[in-house]
């Protein structure tokens, strides 16, 4: 979203586009005295937020709701995801959580999942394409440890518009790492674990900084809870609104 002097310079004269569902995963390492989050620097030649430090994420795929999982998303998380406007169905809420895990693995090589006691052949067959790393090591994606931190809709007039749900998960949930995913020609050219409030985040997009502030505040209050109010950033009447879900 916009920062008065800087972010309003973004290209904002494009025709109206309906926002696409998207999901982002903020991995948090709380093993030290100060929590660290994983951010990736986007390639300079991509259309959306070139060169910015971002969380791994992207659009929801049509198949995300049909991917077998190690555990269901908690009912309280499902309720949060179905909040706000426009309303969505439970199947779409599930797809958002699963998409966050898929995008994180696809862009960073870090896969959140668990090994089931058995993996039926029919389920294994669905783990193809971007999900192949899970099949290769016998994992199923596990969205049960995700928490919703924020929801944000890109303002009208941008070249790309997304209705993004920002999830967080503890780094201990990483079950597998695919090597060679991040490189000079990839969408993310660098991965960095940075302390909340550290200089590498100073050049982040304003909405990224908004979400980081929300996460920092949540972490300081103790264990994460699905009962906590979640901010919903969207534009109405040409101005950014901050509602809660």
Other beta carbons within 10 angstroms of residue 18's beta carbon come to 6
Domains of the chain: 7-244 (3.90.79.10)
Give the model confidence (pLDDT) of 74-130 as tens digits: 999 999 999 888 889 999 999 999 999 999 999 999 999 999 988 888 888 999 999
Length of the chain (residues) = 245
Mean pLDDT, the chain, whole residue set: 88
What is the mean predicted confidence (pLDDT) over 211-226? 93
Q: What percent of the chain has pLDDT over 90?
A: 61
Lowest-confidence segment of 71-75, 98-102, 145-149, 205-209 by average pLDDT: 205-209
What is the mean predicted confidence (pLDDT) over 141-160? 90
Does 131 have pLDDT greater than 80? Answer: yes
Give the model confidence (pLDDT) of 52-64 as tens digits: 888 899 999 999 9
pLDDT reported for residue 48: 65
pTM to 2 decimal places: 0.88
Give the model confidence (pLDDT) of 162-205 as tens digits: 999 999 999 999 999 999 999 988 888 999 999 988 876 777 77
pLDDT reported for residue 41: 83
What is the mean predicted confidence (pLDDT) over 5-26? 71
What is the mean predicted confidence (pLDDT) over 140-154? 96
């Amino acid at each position: 979203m916009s920062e008065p002097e800087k972010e309003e310079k973004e290209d904002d004269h494009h025709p109206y586009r309906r926002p696409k569902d998207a999901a982002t995963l903020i991995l948090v390492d709380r093993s030290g005295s100060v929590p660290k989050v994983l951010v990736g620097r986007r390639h300079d030649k991509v259309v959306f937020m070139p060169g910015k430090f971002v969380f791994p994420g992207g659009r929801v795929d049509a198949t995300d709701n049909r991917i077998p999982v190690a555990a269901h998303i908690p009912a309280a998380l499902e309720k949060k995801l179905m909040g706000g406007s426009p309303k969505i169905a439970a199947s779409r809420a599930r797809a958002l959580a699963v998409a966050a895990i898929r995008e994180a693995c696809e862009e960073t090589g870090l896969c959140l999942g668990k090994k089931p006691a058995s993996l039926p052949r029919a389920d294994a067959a669905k783990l193809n394409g971007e999900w192949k790393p899970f099949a290769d090591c016998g994992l199923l994606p596990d969205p049960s440890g995700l928490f919703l931190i924020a929801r944000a809709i890109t303002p009208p007039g941008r070249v790309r518009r997304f209705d993004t749900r920002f999830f967080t998960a503890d780094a201990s949930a990483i079950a597998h790492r695919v090597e060679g995913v991040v490189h000079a020609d990839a969408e993310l050219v660098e991965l960095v674990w940075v302390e909340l409030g550290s200089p590498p985040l100073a050049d982040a997009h304003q909405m990224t900084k908004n979400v980081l502030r929300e996460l920092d505040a949540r972490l300081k209050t103790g264990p994460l809870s699905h009962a906590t109010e979640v901010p919903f950033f969207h534009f109405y009447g040409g101005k950014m609104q901050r509602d809660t879900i």
